[in-house]
DNA sequence: GATGAATGAGGCTTCATTCAT
DNA sequence: GATGAATGAAGCCTCATTCAT
């Protein structure tokens, strides 16, 4: 009740590598299989509801082996988070096309972000939902990633400002606020895009880009809303 | 995150009613105490990690009484969600000052939202994190609330558009996208504001308001970013 | 799972006495209501699965009142057993028509037995199944009743023997064995009659009577089966 | 009753395998130990009153192992019933000496029945008392066994009738009634034999055989008792 | 006479984790 | 390198039973 999602185990156990159960395999491969299984399980069931039994079974190995390689449930979860965080950051970095203007880069980065999260929903669930829902050891890992992304976006914002005007000084707090809002909006839109299949990653990216663009423009123009500002935006 | 694991239980048990442990109290009062305790516990630990033992202890009653009044962990969690969702919606509705222009109303609503979430961080955690992290019975409750808020925001957006220009027709998808992004941004900013105490509800509201304002302006102007648009926002 | 039977509470709570809930009633009446409720509940759910809550509710009183009048679950169960055992014994005794020959008396007694058990299935369940299934305090009560009936039947058997032949001496063990077998058969047939509604109390009694009759006849004739006896009964 | 509450645990835990507590053992062996312990516990305490704790302890293992191998209390009880039902049926079948006349077969079957129930009183309690006292999942298992035995007895009755007379047609209902009564009597006598140790299986079988014999004879002779029949059996 | 409020104790079940092979 | 066997600890839930009014 109330836990997990998928009773139907029609998903691939990634046994597609042609491995027969019990086959000796190099440690690295086994470890990857375990992490894959763990990400799926944690992503769908949540940290507490995921059982080492299910993870081991999904990975096609025995439980003691999981412990041998990954020590404990906590360590395993941390490893998942770390791996997926790096993968996401890498996907975004690699998606950014370097030759473009700052806004072009932002755009390509956003597309990469939405594409990656759409293609790895379990990983996204681990990072966005599960890791942040459980106490300190895990939340920190995600915070690090989030900060990395926020920093990256901040850089792009500064660059865009530079390109546009030369050196308009932007207040640091404003920029951070914008970045926080952008990332939050992105996360929300990622969820929206995952639910309503009709919305593609590209559309989500476009929506967000518009949003960011407008916010940035206002910021640079110093055109800020205040209680005294009246209508007519 | 600001929630953390909360090992140090230096928090007030809200026993402020002057009650001595073990005193007989009318059902309604006890029930409120239990819900209070449950919100705190669920908010900090998460649904699975929260134990009925801890909830009962925090409420200052024995476990069986919790079951007598609230049936099961699932029902208890649902009751928490329901109560806090209504409280949040009510807070926002009550915060909106009716005489104002649409943007003034949006502004006051946002302030109320950030104020409420800042004052009830555990409740906010329950709604934003915990409820959505666990399966169907709970997520739906929050979805209802979220949709209510999204609908409300959508109304204000339309009203603002009207006020500004008369009848610019906005594409429905754009408006929904904007609302989704806004709510997501708000959620993210609420977290930010909770973490860094230096950021007040008012500031967060201002940041978001700017954001919304700019997005709305763009939308109405038809001034949309596209890959071919070049720099100079 | 595995307990009780009737979810559908379409049975009368015996509130047919025209009592309004909460009405003060003489102790004897209240006590009877409680015992009625208890017999139904114990009969359907079994001793352990029956809860004092259900019994109190079915009786239309509060739990503490049940304790006030009947002390404990154990005492309550004992009271049920005692009352129903006496009722059954009385029904049989009253059913026996005194003027008849011994076999006529046996016949009328059997009819009374089957009629009573058919009309009070819950009471029969309490005596036959539940009481004997649980440890010492209860089994003894039923044993007493059973012995009373066995003794009564034994008397009739002796009387019948007398009537038939004058003083054929029957071995005590044989008579007791016959009586035991008879009672067991009666219990089994009572169950059979309860299940297959097509079998009436009268038919069951007839079947058993034939049985008894034949057994008794053999006994008196000294016509006993032994491994060396060959076919042709 | 002979079962009682069994406070004094002076019984052997059947640890006769020479195993030391905690030793690793193959699954099949452990499973048998658990079933043995469960039969004893269920037989003496009843389904509800038996605790998994006691069963595990009696089996010399920890509770989780019981769950690992047997899933749940319900499954465990079902497994007990199934195993003991099969054992009893097998004992009776194996006890029947095939070369004999029908009545000889009935006799040998009865002896086997009484011997088996006398040697396995807890198993008999499980089948006769406990399983039938608790709701549907369990009663059905025993019903199947009972029907199997009733059918078997019915066959023998027909055969005996054949041998005796050639083809006297017996009414189906009469035969079923006889079989029901016989089985009931047998069950009752089994209890009697268990209580009073002085009564051996052989004696019980003899008593019942006489009973059956007489009933069958009457049936075939059409010599039935009726209210109008007067004395002189 | 009657009850709403409250609890200590115990039962079923699951899980992360470790041996011994 | 890999696993079948095994468990301590903990969680959800229910129940018989008692106060205080």
pLDDT in tens, A45-62: 999 999 999 999 999 899
Under 8 Å CB-to-CB from B141, ≥6 apart: which residues?
Answer: B78, B81, B82, B85, B131
pLDDT of residue A145: 85
Of residues A225, A113, A209, the one with CA closest to residue A174: A225
From the list B133, B220, B233, the residue facing A213 with the nearest CB is B233
Chains A and D touch (3+ CB pairs under 8 A): no
pLDDT at A101 over 70: yes
> Which bases along strand F come within 7 Å of a protein CB atom?
1-21
- At residue D80, the 3 state secondary structure works out as helix
In which residue are the tokens 């395993």 written? A76
Distance of CA C211 to the CA centre of its chain: 19
Which residue does chain B place closest to A209, by CA atoms? B225
Q: Could you read off the pLDDT of B218-232 as tens digits, one per residue?
A: 777 776 777 655 444
Q: Cα(B168)–Cα(B179) distance, rounded to whole angstroms?
A: 17
Q: Is the CB of B62 under 7 A from strand E?
A: yes
Distance C63 CA to F16 C1' (A): 10
pLDDT of residue B197: 64
Per-residue burial over C129-140, b if 16 or more Cβ lie within 10 Å, else e, is: bbbbbbbeebbe
Higher pLDDT, B76 or C195: B76
Sign of the torsion angle spanned by Cα atoms D201, D206, D207, D212 = positive
pLDDT of residue A44: 93
Which residue does chain C place closest to D104, by CA atoms? C227
Of residues D114, D33, D48, D119, the one with CA closest to residue D80: D33
Q: Cα(B27)–Cα(B33) distance, rounded to whole angstroms?
A: 10
- Per-window interface: D 80-99 vs C, CB < 8 A: none
pLDDT of residue B167: 52
Q: What percentage of chain B carries pLDDT values higher than 70?
A: 82
Q: Could you read off the pLDDT of B158-202 as tens digits, one per residue?
A: 777 777 665 556 677 777 777 778 888 888 888 777 766 667 777
What does the mean pLDDT of chain D come to? 80
From the list A180, A229, A230, the residue facing B189 with the nearest CB is A180
Average pLDDT for C125-143: 85
Average pLDDT for D185-205: 76
Q: What percentage of chain A carries pLDDT values higher than 70?
A: 79
pLDDT of residue A57: 92
Q: Could you read off the pLDDT of C6-31 as tens digits, one per residue?
A: 444 444 444 444 445 455 677 888 89
Of residues C223, C190, C218, C210, the one with CA closest to residue C106: C210
Element of type H or E holding C225: none
pLDDT of residue C62: 92
Q: Cα(D137)–Cα(D47) distance, rounded to whole angstroms?
A: 12
Q: Is D208 on the interface with C (CB under 8 A)?
A: yes
Distance A64 CA to E21 C1' (A): 13
pLDDT of residue A166: 54
Which residue does chain D place closest to C225, by CA atoms? D210
CB C142 within 8 A of CB C125: no
User: What are the Cα distances from residue A185, in Å, to A117, B139, B183, C63?
Assistant: 14, 19, 7, 56
> What band does A169 get if pLDDT is binned at 50, 70 and 90?
low
Q: What is the crossing angle of helices A63-70 and A27-45, to 10°?
A: 100
pLDDT at D180 over 90: no
Counting as contact any 3 or more CB pairs under 8 A, the partners of D are C
Q: Cα(C146)–Cα(B197) distance, rounded to whole angstroms?
A: 80
Distance of CA B215 to the CA centre of its chain: 22
pLDDT at D177 over 80: no
Q: Is C225 on the interface with D (CB under 8 A)?
A: yes
From the list D103, D183, D230, the residue facing C188 with the nearest CB is D183
Of residues D39, D80, D38, the one with CA closest to residue D56: D38
Contact D164 C231 (CB under 8 A): yes
- Eight-class DSSP state of D127: I
Average pLDDT for A7-17: 43
Q: Cα(D30)–Cα(D16) distance, rounded to whole angstroms?
A: 13
What does the mean pLDDT of chain A come to? 78
Residues composing chain A: 233
pLDDT of residue D4: 39
Element of type H or E holding A165: helix A136-165
Under 8 Å CB-to-CB from C230, ≥6 apart: which residues?
Answer: D101, D103
Q: Cα(B15)–Cα(A5) distance, rounded to whole angstroms?
A: 38
Q: Is B207 on the interface with A (CB under 8 A)?
A: yes
pLDDT of residue A227: 66
Q: Cα(B182)–Cα(B107) distance, rounded to whole angstroms?
A: 13
pLDDT of residue B227: 65
- At residue C97, the 3 state secondary structure works out as coil
User: What are the Cα distances from residue B170, in Å, to A186, B173, C218?
Assistant: 22, 8, 103
Q: Is C1 on the interface with D (CB under 8 A)?
A: yes
Sign of the torsion angle spanned by Cα atoms D8, D14, D15, D18 = positive
Lowest mean pLDDT among B78-87, C129-138, C145-154, D166-175: D166-175
Q: Cα(B150)–Cα(B143) distance, rounded to whole angstroms?
A: 10
pLDDT of residue D12: 44
Q: Cα(B209)–Cα(B203) distance, rounded to whole angstroms?
A: 10
User: What are the Cα distances from residue B200, in Å, to B3, B121, B123, C79?
Assistant: 17, 14, 18, 70
Element of type H or E holding A156: helix A136-165
> What band does A35 get if pLDDT is binned at 50, 70 and 90?
very high
Chains B and A touch (3+ CB pairs under 8 A): yes
């Amino acid at each position: 009740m109330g836990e997990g999602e998928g009773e139907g185990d029609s998903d691939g156990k990634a046994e597609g590598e042609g491995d027969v159960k019990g086959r000796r395999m190099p440690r690295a491969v086994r470890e990857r299989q375990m992490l894959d299984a763990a990400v799926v399980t944690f992503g769908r069931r949540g940290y507490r509801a995921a059982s080492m039994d299910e993870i081991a079974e999904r990975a096609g190995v025995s439980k003691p082996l999981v412990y041998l390689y990954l020590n404990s449930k906590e360590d395993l979860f941390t490893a998942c988070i770390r791996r997926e965080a790096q993968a996401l950051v890498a996907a975004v970095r690699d998606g950014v096309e370097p030759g473009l203007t700052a806004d072009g880069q932002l755009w390509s980065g956003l597309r990469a972000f939405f594409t990656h999260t759409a293609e790895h929903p379990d990983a996204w669930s681990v990072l966005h939902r599960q890791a942040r829902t459980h106490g300190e050891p895990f939340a920190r890992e995600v915070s690090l990633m989030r900060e990395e992304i926020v920093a990256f976006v901040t850089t792009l914002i500064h660059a865009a400002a530079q390109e546009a005007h030369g050196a308009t000084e932007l207040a640091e707090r404003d920029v951070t606020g914008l970045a926080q809002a952008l990332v939050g909006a992105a996360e929300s839109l990622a969820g929206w895009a995952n639910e309503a299949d009709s919305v593609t990653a590209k559309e989500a990216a476009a929506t967000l880009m518009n949003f960011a663009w407008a916010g940035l423009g206002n910021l640079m123009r110093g055109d800020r809303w205040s209680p005294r500002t009246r209508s007519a935006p």
